[in-house]
Structure 1
C-alpha cells in the first residue's frame, strides 16, 4: 500500500514479526549489551520502507511496571492534506485516528504499519505515539512512576526519542517523515560526491577507507533565530543563496552580506527541539479521541531560545521553532545553500548532548537520567541503551548533511564512580562520538570533530589548570576550543590583552588544533553581564574603545586589530559571531523556563547599559511588550531590572519576597510572582526581537565590513596559517622574543614596556619559504607610535621587501600613502596593519 494512502493504518503481521526477529538476532550476535544496543539503535525510530512504515520505540518503563504487551498500542493520527504545519496560530485540527496493535521484543515496542502518510516538503505526514491505559500496569505501581504523560481521558502517551520530525514540538506526537526522499532531492549531491576526491576538503582517509572532512580555515557562528528578519532556517537559506547568486553574477555584496562572507565554515548554534514551560499550554493540547477521529489544538512552536535548553528527546529532528514552513527541508536547504556557493562553506552543528533540561523527564524513559545536575539532568551514559540512543541521535542529526560537529561541554560527559566517590569524565563515550560516521547523498564520511572541553571545570581553578588539549591528545585529528574562546574571556575589559598574553602565546605556540576567536554566543553574553559604572574613572572597562558602553562592546568583539591578529597571524581556526560582525545586539534569550526565567533576567540586568541606547528604546519597533507592561522609558526599565537583580540573593530567589522588596519602587505593574514571570517573558521576547539582525542590515559601515571581509579572505588565501607557529624558545619573562633568528622562522611578541598600550607583533613564514606575513596591532590602550621593523630587533628586515596588504580603515584614512615597516605608524586602540613580503632574511 502506498504511503500516500489515507486509509486506516493497520498492522502488517509478517513485517512486524520480521522486526522482532531482527531484534532477537542482533542480541544473539552480540554478547556485549552495549554492542547489541549500538547495532539495534539505527533500527529504531520511524522508517519509511517499501510501501509501509516501521516503528520501534524503547519502552523500558512499560516492562518495568508490568504493562502487558497486548495493552500497548500505536496511535496513528493522520491530518487532512490541507493542514499547514507552518501556522503558528493555535487552531483545531481533526485527525483520522487508527489504533494499531504492537509487538514487544525485550524492552522495545514494534509495529510495521501500512496506511500511514509520510511527511514531505508539501504536506504534513501521519503523527504517531505509543498509548496505553495506566490501569494495565502492576497494581502496586506508583502512577507517578509510569512512563509517558496521562491525558484527560486517562490514556498515557509515550513519544519516540528518535523521531525525525516533531512539527508541534518534542512533547507532541512525532511525524513519520520521508528522509530518504529528502536526501535524494537535496541540491548538494555533487558536494558530497567530491568528498572522496577533493584534496582541499578531505585531509586523509581513515583505516576503514572513509574520508574525514578537513578542518575549516575560518568560521562564523550563527544563531538562526536572530540571523535574519524571518528568524528561521528558511530565511537563512535564502540569505546564503542570495549571496551565492550575487557572487556568481559578479555583483557586489551589501555591507550586511559582507558580515557573512569570507568564511569557509559556519557553526550553527543548536537546532534541536526545545523544552517548554511546565505551566505552558503547549503547541499540542486538548487531544479528544472519538473512535476513528481525534481533535487537537495545534500550532507550530514559537519559542524564543538560544538553543541549548534541549530535552534530548527528538534530538535528531530540527527544532520546529526555527522552521517557518514547519518542514525539516529548511535545514537541508540551508546546508545545500552553503555547499553550493561558488566557494563552498562547511556547516558545523553545535551538539549539546551533555545534559537534558528537566523537561526531558516528561518524555524520556527514566533510565535516561542519572540525576539532577548544573544544567538540568545528567544523562546515564553507562546504561547501554542510553549510550546507544545518544550516539544514534548524534548520527541522525548529523545525517542532515553537516560537515562537522562541535560537542558542547565535553567536560560534562561524566559518570559517578562509587569507588572513588567522584564524577569522572567519560572519555570512552567521547571516543564513541568520535567514531560515529555519516552517510549523506550516498557518501559515507567522517566529520570534522570539535570539542568544547575546559576540564577540570567546574573545579574552582579550572581557568588556570585547563590545558584545553585533553581530547586533542586522545584524538589528534580533532579540534578543541582554545583558552581565549571560552565564556570568561571579556575583551571589553582593560588589560584583557595584557593579562591574557600567556594564553595568547599558547595559541601561537600550540594552537594548530584550536578554535580561536573572542566573539561567540557566550563571550558576548558574559561581556554584557559586567557592571557599567556611572563614572569611567578607575574602571577596568576599556574606555579607549569608545565613548559609551554600546560603542565599547561593539568594538571589543569586532575591531581591526583583533580580526587581523586572529585571521592573519595566529594559528588554528578563528571563529567569529555573526551578531558581533554586524555589531548587532545579543543576549541570553529563552522563554521556555517557568522556574528560572526571572533569575535569568536579573542576571542580564546590565544588558540595557551595554546594548540599548536611549534612541533604541524609544523606537516604536522595539520593546513593545515591556512598554505594554508600563515601562515606557529606558530609565524606568533600567531602574526596575537593577532593583530586581538586587533582590535575588537576599531573598534566596523567593518571588513573593522579591515582590515585597520591590514594592517601594512603585513599578508600573502589580507585583505578584505571576507578573514577575510575565515581565521576564516579555523581556526575553523583546530582547530576542531587538537582537534580530534584520533590524541592523542598513546600519553597517561598508569600510568596516569590507576590511573585515578582506582580512578573512587573506586567511582563505593562506590556509597554511592554520598550523602552529614555528617559534624559538620564549624568554623567561614571556616578553619579546630575542632568541637567535635561526632557532625558528616565526616570531610573536608584545612591546615591553607597554607605555600605555599593548602592542602585539608577529611574523609568519609560509612552509615553502616564499612568503612572510608581518602583523602589528595596538590591542588596547592609548594611541601609540610604532616602527614595525624596530619590534623585531633580532631580525634584519628589508623594508623594501614588504608591502602593506591590510591597513585598518582609520589608519588608511589618515595617510596619503600606505605605511612601511621601517617608518612610524600611528595606531589607535584596536588598529592594525598587516604587511606581506618575500622570505629573504
Structure 2
C-alpha cells in the first residue's frame, strides 16, 4: 500500500439514512415476513449511488483525506461508497455491545489474481470501521472501498466482534455476490451494476418485452414469463470440459455457434451439446469444505503492533487468526475506527470435487468459485451470454438446491436459519420470517446473473414443523414464494420458467407408488415438474424395466405436457451404477440385449435410439438428456468435501467398477493414477477391494476402526495393519481418480459419428414440431404397447398435429428380441382396443429411422421394418 493510501471511512450521515430506512420499513409493515423481504434487499454489500456530498474533503464529514481528492476514490481509482447490512440476531442475543462490533475490510495488492489455484501468502491491508445497530441488524455506509469488477479484486469484508471470553469472532455475509476463496472466507465487495451494464447479451433480455419477445405468456402483473425449452441438456460444469470451468463450457458453445453460422460440420462430441434450446446446469452454489482436505483461506501471523490470537468461527480450517486491538484514530469521528495493520493470509481459488448439491447455503447468491477459472462472477454471465448468442438461443436453467444445508452450514449461518438435523445435513427453518426472506433474496440474486429458468431441487424436502400437530408438513407456501420471485436483468423484469423436482410423499416408504408428480403443477399451472420416469430411482439396465414401468410411462403421455421427461440425469445414471449386477434373486436380471458387457449395457441403457425417440419424437413434455449419458462417459457420485462419511460414500459406489470401468480404461496411464500408486494393479483387484469395503461398512455399521481391522486380514495392497486414516486416504484417492476419469474431455475421440449424428437429428425432429409438447389428445391420439409381449416390449403410438397437417406413427423395441412392425401391423393391433382411434394404413413415409433398423426379410408386408433391442422408427403422414 502506498503512503498516500486513504483508508475506508464510515459516512455517518448516509449510515443514519440507512438506519432510518430500516426503521421506517419495520414500522410500515404489520407482518414480520413482509418487512424482512424488503430489508433483505439491502443486506450484504452494495455499491451505493453517487452522492454529490460525498467528496473526500476531510475527517469532519467522515470522508477520506488521502492524496487523491476524487469523489469516493481516495488513493485507489477503483473505490466507491458501499452500503453494508448484516442480520445478526446471534450478536444481539449474546448481549454483545454495539461498540464491540466492527466491519473488517481486507484489501489485497492490485495484482492479486483470484483465479490462481496455487496456494500463496498474501498481505491484505486491514481496515476496520464501526457499524450502527438497529434491532437485530448492523448497518454501515463506507466511502473509499475498493469494488470488484472483471479485472479487479474488490476488498473482502466480514463482520468481527469480541465475545464474552474476549475472543474475536467473525460473521460472513450469506447473501454475498462473490466469494473468490470460498464460502468460509470473507466475501468480496463486487459491483454487480457494472456486471449487468457490460454483459454482452443485454439485447436478449431487452427483447423480452417487445413484440418480438421470446416469451408467449404474461402474468396478471404484466411481467413476461420465459417459455419452457423444447428440449434440454443437463450438464455438470466441473467435469464437462477439460478445464472444469464455466469458461471452458462457454468456449464449447462459442465454437459450436461459430461452426453453425459458418455452415461447418460439428465434431461428433460437439453434437452431444447441440440441438437443445435449454441447458440445466447442476448447482452453481459455493460448496462445503473438508477441514482436513481443504484450506483456501488460512490466516497467518498478523503484522500489527498489538495483536491477540483467537480462533475464528467459520474459518476454512481450525487455524488461529490474529486480530489487532483497535483504538479510535485522532481527527476521526467517534464512529470511525481505523487500523493501519496488515493481515497475511494463505489463499487459493478453491479446488473441490463435488457434484454440486452439498451446499452450505451461506453465499448461495454467489457463483461457486471452484468452477470459475478466473475467480470472477463475470464468468457465469459470459457462459450465459454464450448460450444466448447461439443461432438458436439456448435458455439457461439454474438448479437451485435450497432444500437443505450441509452440516458445516451451521458454522456460517446463525441458529435462526436452521431448524435442526435433517436427512442431508441441516434442515432449514422456512418459517422464521427473516430466514425465510433471506432464502428468497439468495434465490433472486443468484437468478439475476441472467438465468432463464429455475429448477427447485427436491421440493419435497422443503418441510416445516407444525407445533400444534407435532408433525412435519410440506411447506407449499414457501415454494409458492419461490415462484413469486421475479428477475431483473439488463433493465428488464421477467418471470423465469419454473421447474420443481417433487416426489412427495418421499421419503414415505410407498412414495414410488403414491407420488403423483403433479402437486405443484396443480398449484402453479405454469410450472413444470420432473416426470415419474425421470425422478431418482430409474434403472433401464434391468430387464423388464420398460414393461414394469409402463404405468408410469403411460402417465407421461396423459399428463406429461408440464413434465420434464427422459431417463438420463445426474441421479438416474448414478443409481444405475449402484446396482449389483451379480444379484441372482429379488431383482430383475441385467438386460442381456443391451450389450455384451456391463459398461456397454449401462451406456446403451441411458442412451439408445428407442428411449431417445420415445421422448423426443412422440411423448409430451420437455425431453431432457444428460451430457455424460450422451457421450457414454463414466459418471458417479463423488465428493471430497465430507469429513465424516467419505468412506461410506465410496463404499456406496463399489459397483462402479463393474459398470463404468473397462480393463483397458483402468490400464490407461491417464486414469486411476492414485489408486494404482496405492498398489491396485488391476481393475479386478480394485473390484474385490471395493466389494469388501462395502461389505465392511454394512457389517460394522460404519465403524472405521473395526472396518480397518477386518480389512487388514484380507489380501490387499494397503497392508496388514490398516487404520481408519488409511481408509480415508484411499477414499480421497478414489474420488479424485473417478472425478478425473469422468471428465468428458477424455471421451471426445470415443464418439461414434453415426450415433451422434442421429441423436442430433432426433432432437431437431422435436424442434421442428413444438406441438409435441402438449398432452396426447384422448380422442384422436393413441399410445400403447403390444399385448402379449411375446418376448419384446414394443411401444407404439399415433399423434395428430393441432394444425391438422401431419400425423405421426411411432414404434420402438424398448427391450427384448428382434421384432417386425409396420403401419399395417400397428393398425391391426390397435383395432383390438375398442378405445383406440382408427389408425390409417396408407400414406406413411419413414421420417426418422434408428441406425441398424432395416427392412424386414421375414415379413410379407413390404413396409415392415425389423427393430432390434433399443431401435425405433417414426413414420410421417401428410394431410
User: Could you say which residue in structure 2 is the equivalent of 1:47?
Assistant: 46
Find the partner of 1:197 among 191, 198, 210: 210
Q: Is the 8 A contact 1:6 1:115 kept in 2?
A: no
Kindly tell me: are residues 534 and 79 of structure 1, through their superposed partners in 2, closer, same or farther at Cα, counting changes over 3 Å?
same
Residue 199 (structure 2) pairs with residue 186 (structure 1): yes
What is the count of residue pairs matched by the alignment?
A: 800
- 1:286 Cα deviation from its structure 2 partner: 2.2
Deviations 1:788-832 (A, max 9, x none): 3321233665555221111111125x789xx99962211000000
Distance in 2 separating the partners of 1:667 and 1:776: 51
Find the partner of 1:540 among 589, 594, 601: 589
Distance in 2 separating the partners of 1:108 and 1:288: 31
Q: Is the 8 A contact 1:536 1:543 kept in 2?
A: no
Find the partner of 2:844 among 802, 825, 829: 802
User: Could you say which residue in structure 2 is the equivalent of 1:215?
Assistant: 228
User: Could you say which residue in structure 1 is the equivalent of 2:385?
Assistant: 336
Distance in 2 separating the partners of 1:428 and 1:231: 37
Kindly tell me: are residues 419 and 232 of structure 1, through their superposed partners in 2, closer, same or farther at Cα, counting changes over 3 Å?
same
Residue 808 (structure 2) pairs with residue 784 (structure 1): no
User: Could you say which residue in structure 1 is the equivalent of 2:105?
Assistant: 76
Find the partner of 1:440 among 484, 489, 497: 489
User: Could you say which residue in structure 2 is the equivalent of 1:263?
Assistant: 276
Q: Is the 8 A contact 2:784 2:797 kept in 1?
A: yes
User: Could you say which residue in structure 1 is the equivalent of 2:72?
Assistant: none
Find the partner of 1:680 among 702, 708, 731: 731
Map 1:275-290 onto structure 2 (within 5 A): 275-290=288-303
Map 1:682-697 onto structure 2 (within 5 A): 682-697=733-748
Map 1:422-501 onto structure 2 (within 5 A): 422-501=471-550
Residue 762 (structure 2) pairs with residue 762 (structure 1): no
Q: Is the 8 A contact 1:16 1:103 kept in 2?
A: yes
Residue 151 (structure 2) pairs with residue 122 (structure 1): yes
Residue 90 (structure 2) pairs with residue 90 (structure 1): no
Distance in 2 separating the partners of 1:167 and 1:596: 27
For structure 1, list consecutive stretches of 5 or more residues without a partner in the other structure.
138-153, 728-743
SS in 2 for 1:463: helix
SS in 2 for 1:676: helix
Q: Is the 8 A contact 1:799 1:821 kept in 2?
A: no
Q: Is the 8 A contact 1:6 1:116 kept in 2?
A: no
Map 1:236-315 onto structure 2 (within 5 A): 236-291=249-304, 292-315=341-364
Distance in 2 separating the partners of 1:553 and 1:340: 35
User: Could you say which residue in structure 2 is the equivalent of 1:741?
Assistant: none
Stretch of structure 1 that moved more, 362-371 or 109-118 = 109-118
Residue 44 (structure 2) pairs with residue 31 (structure 1): no
Deviations 1:311-361 (A, max 9, x none): 000000000010111111111011000011100000000000001000101
- 1:281 Cα deviation from its structure 2 partner: 4.8
Find the partner of 1:722 among 773, 779, 786: 773
SS in 2 for 1:115: strand
Find the partner of 1:528 among 577, 582, 592: 577
Q: CA RMSD in A?
A: 1.8
Deviations 1:209-237 (A, max 9, x none): 10000111110000000111111001001
Distance in 2 separating the partners of 1:420 and 1:195: 46
Kindly tell me: are residues 289 and 13 of structure 1, through their superposed partners in 2, closer, same or farther at Cα, counting changes over 3 Å?
farther
TM (norm. structure 1) is 0.93
User: Could you say which residue in structure 1 is the equivalent of 2:806?
Assistant: 771
Kindly tell me: are residues 230 and 6 of structure 1, through their superposed partners in 2, closer, same or farther at Cα, counting changes over 3 Å?
farther
Find the partner of 1:101 among 127, 130, 137: 130
Kindly tell me: are residues 194 and 461 of structure 1, through their superposed partners in 2, closer, same or farther at Cα, counting changes over 3 Å?
same
TM (norm. structure 2) is 0.89
Distance in 1 separating the partners of 2:586 and 2:594: 15
- 1:278 Cα deviation from its structure 2 partner: 3.4
Distance in 1 separating the partners of 2:432 and 2:589: 49
Find the partner of 1:651 among 654, 677, 700: 700
Distance in 2 separating the partners of 1:420 and 1:362: 31
Distance in 1 separating the partners of 2:586 and 2:851: 29
Find the partner of 1:746 among 781, 801, 822: 781
Distance in 2 separating the partners of 1:711 and 1:705: 10
Distance in 2 separating the partners of 1:677 and 1:68: 44
Distance in 1 separating the partners of 2:590 and 2:643: 34
Distance in 1 separating the partners of 2:596 and 2:237: 31
User: Could you say which residue in structure 2 is the equivalent of 1:133?
Assistant: 162
For structure 2, list consecutive stretches of 5 or more residues without a partner in the other structure.
51-79, 305-340, 832-836
- 1:6 Cα deviation from its structure 2 partner: 5.8
- 1:783 Cα deviation from its structure 2 partner: 1.2
Distance in 2 separating the partners of 1:445 and 1:436: 9
Find the partner of 2:875 among 828, 835, 841: 835
User: Could you say which residue in structure 2 is the equivalent of 1:61?
Assistant: 90
SS in 2 for 1:289: coil
Find the partner of 1:505 among 546, 549, 554: 554
- 1:106 Cα deviation from its structure 2 partner: 1.1
Find the partner of 1:701 among 752, 759, 765: 752
- 1:419 Cα deviation from its structure 2 partner: 1.9
SS in 2 for 1:507: helix
Distance in 2 separating the partners of 1:834 and 1:705: 18
User: Could you say which residue in structure 1 is the equivalent of 2:714?
Assistant: 665
Kindly tell me: are residues 373 and 258 of structure 1, through their superposed partners in 2, closer, same or farther at Cα, counting changes over 3 Å?
same
Deviations 1:483-525 (A, max 9, x none): 0001111111110110011111111011100111100000000
- 1:666 Cα deviation from its structure 2 partner: 3.4
Find the partner of 1:420 among 469, 476, 482: 469
User: Could you say which residue in structure 1 is the equivalent of 2:312?
Assistant: none
Q: Is the 8 A contact 2:121 2:347 kept in 1?
A: yes
Stretch of structure 1 that moved more, 290-299 or 266-275 = 290-299
Q: Is the 8 A contact 2:827 2:840 kept in 1?
A: no
Kindly tell me: are residues 634 and 198 of structure 1, through their superposed partners in 2, closer, same or farther at Cα, counting changes over 3 Å?
farther
SS in 1 for 2:41: helix
- 1:538 Cα deviation from its structure 2 partner: 9.6
Find the partner of 1:349 among 367, 379, 398: 398
SS in 2 for 1:497: helix
Distance in 1 separating the partners of 2:874 and 2:764: 13
